[in-house]
Amino acid sequence: MRVLVTGAFGNVGLSALTELLKQGHQVRCFDLKTRANERAGRRFGRALEVVWGDLRRPADVGRAVAGQEAVIHLAFIIPKLSATGIESEAQPDWAAAINVGGTRNLVEAMQAQPQPPKLIFSSSLHVYGLTQEQPPPRTSSDPVQPLEHYARHKVECEEMIKASGLTWSIFRFAAVLPIAMKLDPGMFDVPLDNRIEFVHTRDVGLALANGLSCPEVWGKTLLIGGGPQCQLYYRDMASQILDGMGVGMLPGRAFGAQPFATDWLDTTESQRLLDYQRRTLSDYLHDMAALLGFRRRMIRLFRPGVRRWLLGRSPYFAASRAIGSAGQRGPRKVALVTGASSGIGAATARRLATEGYAVALVARREERLHALAGEIRAAGGEASVIAADLSDEAAGQQVFDKVRAAYGAIDVLVNSAGFGWYGYGAEMPWPLARQMVEVNALAAMRLTLLFLSDMLARGRGHIVNISSIAGNLPNQGIALYSATKSFLDNFTTSLYRELAGTGVHVSIVKPGPVATEFWDAPTQVPGLRIPGERLAAVRPEAVAQRIGALLRRPRRVIYVPRWLGFVPWVEPALSWLLDRLGPLLLRRQVKTAR
């Protein structure tokens, strides 16, 4: 087939040329005559025809379209990383003359042909606007709500093409990064918790080439993305790319907080028709590293200087430093962490602070909270202290009121407060038993319900309840503790199912033994220790790391360590062993303590 490719020597264009030639098409390229484009064209030798010209000149476009059977229209001025060096948002009128005016010239030239060629138009997921508060994925039937000039140009061109009478197909692309990645300041505009879908430029080239031979694509708008394996949060994508370049992930405050027009896409139909999803972000990182070659070693050698240079290009990092020096609070997300004076709570607070959250710390031991808050502030973070005894029924409402007064609303609630006790249930003092139910179960329930209404009204938020594998393994010596965790498991699971599609997430974290002072609390029976409580204990920092990942990719439940996920499956089969072994271990511990 005789195929014209506009913008042929850009990122996607080069990938499309490679695949079109591989499939045996006769390819004509249309692009501006620049040194970079001439150099790119020479790579293909005589395998393709080149027509140099300008989309704004109808005569140039007419020469390019003449005699073609299909046109792949890629030429467009984009917001960032434009090959022209000029961004669509910086000079919107100039960009519109190329984007909209150039597309109009192309459509008219195609209509003037004796046999008008078919047209594949490259659009973008940017046409959907801000969708982070909507449940993903985006579909081709979703309404368009373009925000920037670039997206409005795309929508105008889509409507023009649909009304043209030509045979057309519109491909809306996910994030297509050039392998020769440029560290543009625009990289800092995307919030780290923004959903984003990556698609490899070579997979896009394959989709375009395959589209020419697929009769079902015509008259359709298709979403072109990498598929579920390429659906990421920007934090994960940015950190992997920066690590792959040798720079390393940059501080969270270097990135913006305003939602960005990216999201995950439903590519089921496009993959069925075009069979193009072959690569993931790992393949991109491999290609990028190969292209960097020795320069990657140089970046690592001068890494501190490179990082300072990059941070100097982030307007958000400079602003955060200015705000910090002025003692003001920046536009950060807010996380409330209970049980923050030690263990999992303290580790989680530290972790979230390093990821850019303003952290509200809640616990009984006020002096410890102030020490942790000072540590977070010294590292450039933001923290506030709310001393509260959550065994007091009124404390939950007091915490809620103080947080609303200080922050207005929160984005994340981590219910980590709790304590344990080991011994015969019949010997557990009633005041202590009541306190355990209040702290481990009822306090978490109160705070969850209090903050849940606010989150639902805003259409976003995440509540994380720290449970325990003991909720699945009711065992000797921890009868009431296991019961409180089982309650928390079921409460959280029910809410998770109720909240599907609301934008608000509720999750349960189920660690095994954790190396904290949890079981050394003053309420513990002197000298009585849990059999195997230190066995395979994980560090609280490991739990905090998994919580950070959970906030980026929400799910109902996570186990720490991961292998504990087998417990719910095997516990019914091995309960007989616990029935026999448990009482023996408990009697031995009680005898030793006494």
pLDDT at 257 over 50: yes
Taking the CA atoms of 369, 375, 378 and 383 in sequence, report the sign of the dihedral they define.
negative
- The three-state DSSP-derived secondary structure of 410-433 is CCEEEECCCCCCCCCHHHCCHHHH
Q: How many CB atoms lie within 10 A of CB 512?
A: 21
Q: Please write the tens of the pLDDT for every residue from 516-539.
A: 655 444 444 444 455 444 445 678
**pLDDT bucket at 563, cuts 50 / 70 / 90:** confident
- pLDDT at position 161, please? 98
How far apart CA 521 and CA 525 sit, in angstroms, is 9
Query: Quick one: 439 exposed, middle or buried, by C-beta within 10 A (0-12, 13-18, 19+)?
Result: buried
Report which secondary-structure segment, H or E, holds 344. Answer: helix 343-354
pLDDT at 171 over 80: yes
pLDDT at 354 over 80: yes
Cis peptide upstream of residue 561 (ω within 30 degrees of 0): yes
Which stretch of 42-56, 82-96, 362-376, 512-526 has the lowest confidence by average pLDDT? 512-526
pTM of the model: 0.59
Which stretch of 142-151, 253-262, 559-568 has the lowest confidence by average pLDDT? 559-568
Residue at token pair 């010239």: 105
Which stretch of 18-22, 489-493, 569-573 has the lowest confidence by average pLDDT? 569-573
Q: Torsions phi, psi of 168, nearest 5?
A: -135, 160
pLDDT at 589 over 70: no
Chain-centre distance of CA 477, in angstroms? 41
Cis peptide upstream of residue 137 (ω within 30 degrees of 0): yes
User: Measured between alpha carbons, how far is residue 198 from residues 104, 237, 512 in Å?
Assistant: 30, 8, 35
Q: How many CB atoms lie within 10 A of CB 582?
A: 18
Count how many residues are written for the chain: 594
Residues of the chain with CATH 3.40.50.720: 2-180+197-227+263-281, 333-593
Q: Report which of 398, 355, 245, 262 is spatially closest to residue 310, judged by C-alpha positions.
A: 245
- pLDDT at position 593, please? 33
Q: Please write the tens of the pLDDT for every residue from 419-436.
A: 888 788 888 899 999 999
Q: Are 233 and 208 in contact (CB under 8 A)?
A: no
Query: Quick one: 494 exposed, middle or buried, by C-beta within 10 A (0-12, 13-18, 19+)?
Result: exposed
- pLDDT at position 583, please? 53
pLDDT at 132 over 60: yes
pLDDT at 300 over 80: yes
Task: Quote the longest CA-to-CA distance of the chain.
Answer: 100
Q: Please write the tens of the pLDDT for every residue from 41-65.
A: 999 999 999 999 999 999 999 999 9
Q: Report which of 172, 157, 306, 175 is spatially closest to residue 246, judged by C-alpha positions.
A: 306
- Specify the CATH number of the domain 2-180+197-227+263-281: 3.40.50.720
- pLDDT at position 136, please? 94
How far apart CA 365 and CA 35 sit, in angstroms, is 67
Number of H helices, E strands in the chain: 20, 16
**pLDDT bucket at 84, cuts 50 / 70 / 90:** low
- pLDDT at position 324, please? 46
Beta strands 504-511; 557-560: pairing state: parallel
Mean pLDDT confidence for 155-170: 98
CATH homologous superfamily, domain 333-593: NAD(P)-binding Rossmann-like Domain (3.40.50.720)
- pLDDT at position 330, please? 44
User: Beta partners for 197?
Assistant: 231
- pLDDT at position 180, please? 85
Q: Which percentage of the chain shows pLDDT scores above 70?
A: 87
Chain-centre distance of CA 365, in angstroms? 34
Taking the CA atoms of 492, 498, 504 and 505 in sequence, report the sign of the dihedral they define.
positive
**pLDDT bucket at 327, cuts 50 / 70 / 90:** very low
- pLDDT at position 465, please? 96
Query: Quick one: 199 exposed, middle or buried, by C-beta within 10 A (0-12, 13-18, 19+)?
Result: buried
pLDDT at 588 over 50: no
- pLDDT at position 326, please? 41
**pLDDT bucket at 592, cuts 50 / 70 / 90:** very low
- pLDDT at position 473, please? 73
Q: Are 516 and 576 in contact (CB under 8 A)?
A: no
Which stretch of 160-169, 183-192, 203-212, 286-295 has the lowest confidence by average pLDDT? 183-192
User: Beta partners for 508?
Assistant: 465, 557
Higher pLDDT, 170 or 479: 170
Helix, strand or coil, per DSSP, at residue 222: strand
Which stretch of 315-324, 338-347, 510-519 has the lowest confidence by average pLDDT? 315-324
- pLDDT at position 419, please? 87
Helix, strand or coil, per DSSP, at residue 361: strand
Mean pLDDT confidence for 83-106: 86
One-letter amino acid at 554 equals P
Tell me, yes or no, if 234 is annotated catalytic: no
Q: Which percentage of the chain shows pLDDT scores above 90?
A: 61
Which stretch of 101-110, 427-436, 496-505, 584-593 has the lowest confidence by average pLDDT? 584-593
pLDDT at 172 over 90: yes
Q: Which of 316, 481, 496, 559 is catalytic?
A: 481
Mean pLDDT confidence for 390-419: 90
**pLDDT bucket at 546, cuts 50 / 70 / 90:** very high
How far apart CA 111 and CA 115 sit, in angstroms, is 8
- pLDDT at position 527, please? 42
Angle at 570 between CA 565 and CA 572, to 5 degrees: 130
Residue at token pair 């003449």: 66
Q: Torsions phi, psi of 30, nearest 5?
A: -130, 120
Mean pLDDT of all residues belonging to the chain: 87
Give exposure, 67-85, as e/b (b: 16+ Cβ within 10 Å).
ebbbbbbbbbbbbebbbee
Which stretch of 237-246, 313-322, 500-509 has the lowest confidence by average pLDDT? 313-322
Q: Are 332 and 257 in contact (CB under 8 A)?
A: yes
How far apart CA 342 and CA 374 sit, in angstroms, is 14
pLDDT at 94 over 70: yes
Q: Are 362 and 337 in contact (CB under 8 A)?
A: yes
- pLDDT at position 532, please? 45
Take residue 87 and report the two structure tokens written for it: 């961004």
Which stretch of 39-43, 285-289, 325-329 has the lowest confidence by average pLDDT? 325-329
Mean pLDDT confidence for 269-282: 97
Which stretch of 53-67, 112-126, 145-159, 533-547 has the lowest confidence by average pLDDT? 533-547
Higher pLDDT, 51 or 574: 51
Give exposure, 403-435, as e/b (b: 16+ Cβ within 10 Å).
beeebeebbbbbbbbbbbbbbeeeebeeeeeeb
pLDDT at 575 over 70: no
- pLDDT at position 522, please? 45
User: Beta partners for 120?
Assistant: 72, 169
